[in-house]
């Protein structure tokens, strides 16, 4: 979980919302609750299932 005001300003800011809308073709919305996964450069996080916990009844979920 990350409650940093600086991170929230980016994750919930107008610039990312505009980029998401342009890429996804419609309005997007950030979750109030964020999980910040920090990783070593050039490594991926282990396999995990975000959709099961985050879909809120839609199949149109994108996580990053």
Where are the chain's structural domains?
1-38
The pLDDT score that the predictor gives to residue 45 is 72
The pLDDT score that the predictor gives to residue 22 is 94
The pair of structure tokens assigned to 33 is 């609750």
Band of residue 2 on the pLDDT scale cut at 50, 70, 90: low
SS3 20: helix
In tens, the pLDDT along 25-60 reads 988 888 887 777 777 888 877 766 776 777 777 777
Residue 64: burial class (beta carbons within 10 Å; 0-12, 13-18, 19+): exposed
Report which DSSP code applies to 12.
Answer: T
The pLDDT score that the predictor gives to residue 64 is 65
Neighbour count for residue 60 (Cβ, 10 Å): 8
pLDDT at 6 over 60: yes
pLDDT at 15 over 80: yes
The whole-angstrom separation of Cα 53 and Cα 19 is: 24
């Amino acid at each position: 979980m990350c409650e940093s005001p600086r991170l929230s300003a980016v994750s919930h800011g107008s610039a990312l919302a505009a980029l998401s809308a342009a890429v996804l073709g419609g309005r997007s919305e950030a979750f109030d609750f964020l999980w910040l996964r920090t990783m070593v450069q050039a490594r991926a996080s282990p396999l995990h299932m975000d959709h099961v916990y985050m879909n809120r009844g839609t199949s149109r979920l994108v996580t990053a």
